[in-house]
Chains A and B, each alone.
Chain A
Amino acid sequence: MTALRKTLTIQSSPHISAAASVDSIMFNVVLALLPVCLFAVYEFGIAALLVLFTAVASCVITEHLLCRVSGHSTTVSDWSVVITGLLYGLVLPPSLPLWMVAAGGVIAVGVGKFLFGGLGCNPFNPALVGRAILQAAFPAAMTSWPDVSSQAFGSLPSSTLALPLTKPQFDGISAATPLANWKFNQVATDTADLFLGSVSGSTGETSALLILIGGIYLVARRMMSWQIPVAILATVALCSAVLHAIDSDRFAGPLFMMYSGGLMLGAVFMATDMVASPITHLGCIAYGVLIGLLVVVIRVWGGMPEGVMYAILIGNAASPHIDHWIQPRVYGTQRGVRL
């Protein structure tokens, strides 16, 4: 028996921990987004690939440089900025000039995330901040959609490589998205096309099926709240079903409403940004219902065909208040929901 001489490490309990970490959660979200991205490239060709690449690159570089300038170590490795870049790219029209994509990416990360303090502090989904600013700055470019059937994989819309600050020329007549077609022409699109994604629209918003698969993967791994997308989609479906029953010529049916535009991508991947959504299950449901109602209101009575982006941004703004009002009932106390 030898005398035991050791330097002991002391620490406060617990002394074991679960394997999950922020970077592994973020990486899994990136994985869940990959099928959506691949389908976007398959559908819209090399233009979509360039948009996605530029979006991710501009976001990642912006975050890296801002971290360096402010004297912090870079936070690029936590993968959250890659999600922002991908989501941001997926909600842009595939024919958007790349310089606009890059400018929006800088704003998304610089204004939407870094100004508020970086990961964990952003009140809004940064990807949507980038898109909202582009929408205000370049309304024409942000609503010019290439027709999905006329796209050959290798062909590049001439607008993609437009020089900065020049007015881009869009090829031919741009196609109407299903939502615009309904809003302005009262033409409905086949639900199966909507579900599978062979319609025109933003780069990654068109295939509801692949978005759902990604969402189910994340929910199964407990890396995403199922309450938020379910509440949003159920609210939209319910409201539009009621409206459709009242006047089926004026109001679109629930399936069309759910599968068209940015709703699926927004409900599954945008609204579920953990940082900008409520923390309790009940709060998530309230938040989802709020977003769902706003989507219906904007789409039906607003001036624009699509309102998911603004609905989610307003939901983001409301979520700290939802968290303030809806707190879990502590064991052994009577106080429940704080209203």
Chain B
Amino acid sequence: MRGSLIRLIGGKTFAHGIHPPEAKDATRGLTIHQFPFAPLLIVPLSQHIGKPAVPVVAEGEEVSRGQRIAKPDGFMSVAIHAPASGIIRRIAPTPNINGKMEVGFFLEPYPASTQEVAEGIPLEASSASPEQIVEAIQAAGVVGLGGAGFPTHAKLRIPDGEYVDTLVINGAECEPYLTTDHRVMLEHPDDVMTGIPYLLRATGADRAIIAVEANKQDAADSLRLAIPKHAPLTVEVLPVKYPQGAEKMLITALLGREIPSGGLPVDVHAICVNVGTTAELGKLLPHGMGLQDRVITVGGPAIKKKGNYRIPIGTPLRFILETVGTEDDLSTVVMGGPMMGTTASSLDIPITKGSTGVIAFAEQETRRTSTRKQFPCIHCGYCLEACPIYLNPSQLGLHAEYGEHQVMADKHHLFDCFECGCCTFVCPSHIPLVQQFRIAKAAVRKARRSA
């Protein structure tokens, strides 16, 4: 309803959604700084959706920064590069953010090394074929830097019989606290402009739209100034709303197209790529380099030296927090934003390619959300008005309470939920709705596997 009204007066957005406190003021004005190397980097083989990479170096081997240390295992997999010059001490299991153990490189950087980056074979956007670009992106180890970790090259291979007319560059950054995309757009608009032609060529799209939320007007201005002459490229400023950075919501906001349930953006002839990923492509591909670090917002109430840092992949949380300093009553460390991010169970978990932020909360804030009194559902309907895909979270929540997970999946579109957390955010009864939906999805998947 409100979405359609805003559309009527010319603003572009999607329907429903929420307005959480933006909490970006502390870091939005801070320039990106290079972060120091930790004494030990832990680089997992699986930092993306798909198959883990296969090591091509052995324990005890010396590697130089930017050197490929693992190769992709099939199409749904990407390469991994050394984030620093040093020595591979071990290749062993290490905890990841989801609480599981997975294999990773334990890389000890040489303290005296200049940490110069190894360059490879450059690729020109104007002369390369779509296949070459897709291969180069896979070889550069690039995955979606917006948090999902989906291999970017896999998105760019358009299925036979389909076509793409619009490339959407996602600079919405709707999660509170995060300012990495904001700083990248502001400080490195040229990298974004260099990256876009590769994506246009790979997908065959006629035009690209960079979508920026209105709280980053300066970033939109900086991008507009950097647009090359005659480039089929526009910058759109959207009203601020969460979860506008979700692929489905952004494409609906910009193009008014609805991705079918269970479908992909390509079904509506669009492809959506994160702006940070695009900038990284613009930085890496012309030099044939691989991904070895990324920009991360380190912030939240429990962080002392908040900022936007370029941090080597594999830097453990402990090193980051010790370097920036934390308040004494630190109690929760979130990887990603506070709406969809994951809390770390150990400080030995490293930064991976999909990490957008490290947000730390103190005891006080943690207690405010985790120990609130829960009331019964009073059918207020706030969750229905918040859900960007028009589910009925209240109804789903009632089924979840009775463990009717299959009913949720069969009759109430459980698997259309992408876990943005809007329902839980607004629920005045403090019912952990999206959390219950995660449990329900896991239960249904398990039942399907055993069936």
Contact = CB atoms under 8 A, between A and B. Distances in A.
A21 interface: yes
Contacts of B424: 14, 17
Contacts of B421: 13-14
A192 B331 CA distance: 61
29 contacts: A1-B322, A7-B331, A8-B331, A8-B332, A9-B332, A11-B332, A11-B343, A13-B338, A14-B340, A14-B434, A16-B20, A17-B427, A18-B20, A20-B382, A20-B426, A21-B375, A22-B375, A25-B378, A78-B375, A120-B378, A121-B376, A277-B379, A329-B390, A330-B389, A330-B390, A330-B391, A331-B390, A332-B262, A332-B263
Interface stretch (B106-114, B208-216, B364-372): B364-372
A22 B378 contact: yes
Given A10-B344, A12-B438, A280-B384, A25 B391 contact: no
Contact of B432 (A3, A12, A280, A323): A12
Interface string A1-37: 1111011111111111110111111000000000000
Given A15-B369, A330-B413, A21 B430 contact: yes
A225 B384 CA distance: 13
A328 B392 contact: yes
Contacts of B1: 281
A239 interface: no
A119 interface: yes
Interchain residue pairs A-B with the least CB separation, the first 7: A120-B376, A14-B421, A331-B389, A332-B261, A22-B375, A328-B390, A12-B435
Interface string B312-351: 0000001001110010001111101011111111110000
Contacts of A238: none
Contacts of A328: 384, 390-392
Interface residues of A, number: 44
Q: Secondary structure of the B side of the interface?
A: loop
Interface in A101-158: 118-121
A74 to B, nearest CB: 13
A163 interface: no
B361 A15 contact: yes
A331 B379 contact: no
Contacts of A12: 343, 432, 434-435, 438
B378 A11 contact: no
A277 B20 CA distance: 28
A49 interface: no
Nearest to A121: B376
Interface string A318-331: 00000100011111
B425 A119 contact: no
A274 interface: yes
B340 A8 contact: no
Interface of B: 1, 18, 20-21, 176, 248, 252, 258-263, 318, 321-323, 326, 330-334, 336, 338-347, 359, 361, 365-366, 368-370, 372-373, 375-382, 384, 388-392, 394-395, 413, 416, 419, 421, 424-430, 432, 434-435, 438
Contacts of B326: 4
A4 B252 CA distance: 45
Contacts of B330: 6
B170 to A, nearest CB: 18
A112 B42 CA distance: 61
A291 B346 CA distance: 57
A6 B331 contact: yes
A298 interface: no
Contacts of B377: 120
B331 A9 contact: yes
A119 B345 contact: no
A279 interface: yes
B261 A333 contact: yes
Contacts of B263: 332
A331 B338 contact: no
A238 to B, nearest CB: 23
A300 interface: no
A333 B413 contact: yes
B248 A332 contact: yes
A325 B342 CA distance: 37
Given A118-B376, A120-B378, A280-B384, A11 B261 contact: no
A275 B375 CA distance: 13
B295 to A, nearest CB: 21
B260 A119 contact: no
A323 B379 CA distance: 11
Interface in A281-339: 281, 323, 327-333
Nearest to B341: A13
A8 B344 contact: yes
Nearest to A284: B381
Contacts of A331: 248, 252, 258, 261, 388-390, 416
A330 B261 contact: yes
A328 B389 CA distance: 9
A121 B435 CA distance: 23
Contact of B369 (A10, A17, A24, A78): A17
B390 A8 contact: no
Given A6-B347, A225-B381, A16 B338 contact: yes
A120 B379 CA distance: 7
A78 B20 CA distance: 25
A24 to B, nearest CB: 7
Contact of A119 (B258, B318, B376): B376
A177 B324 CA distance: 73
A8 to B, nearest CB: 6
A280 B380 CA distance: 9
A66 B406 CA distance: 36
A4 B320 CA distance: 11
Given A9-B331, A13-B338, A120-B429, 12 more contacts: A8-B333, A10-B345, A13-B341, A15-B343, A15-B361, A16-B365, A18-B428, A120-B378, A274-B379, A330-B416, A331-B390, A333-B416
A298 to B, nearest CB: 26
A16 B416 contact: no
B394 A279 contact: yes
Nearest to A10: B343
Contacts of A1: 322-323
Contacts of A25: 378, 380, 428
B339 A13 contact: yes
A323 B412 CA distance: 13
